Structure 1
Amino acid sequence: MLELYDVVELREAIPGEELRAGAVGTVVHVFNGPPPAYEVEFADADGPTVAMVTLRTDQIVHRDRLFGDSGLVDATDSAGFPGSSNPGRR
């Protein structure tokens, strides 16, 4: 089960919200169901919210549980930030 502030990725596009598959968002509310659901906030690169959507567990994947070519991998680099150009620098 996901928790508040977990970072998630969309498994499928949500055209009505102009969100593509792979869009990254943050869990801002957990609905304990049944079935469980999550309010997820999606923001643009500058920070403003572009969509706030309630999603089922089958529509999203937790970023720490993404699979790479070699199996289960952490979605962040060694500095702890996605896409950092300075791996290992804190």
Structure 2
Amino acid sequence: MKESYLPELNEMYQKIATQLQQHNSLPTQPKLDQLEKMNVFKMLERIIAFLQVSKSNISPNFMEKLGSYENHIINFINRETRFI
């Protein structure tokens, strides 16, 4: 999963980070879409951290849930690609 999804997720992460950094330099109140991007950014951080866990640190219980996590990642990518 790491090889399949991490490069695309890292790219999304960088785009959102750049957008948020540009927005933070403006002297205006955060807009609703910026707050939504912040939430996406935080979720992306959690997904990337999940993908960076080494195989030796994954418990059997965690292994049982990998299919579910992969579906969640795919749905996230499909949904957020339109968002960015």
TM category (shorter chain) comes to under 0.3
Which structure's residues are more often strand, by fraction?
1
Which structure's residues are more often helix, by fraction?
2
TM-score of the superposition, structure 1-length normalised?
A: 0.24
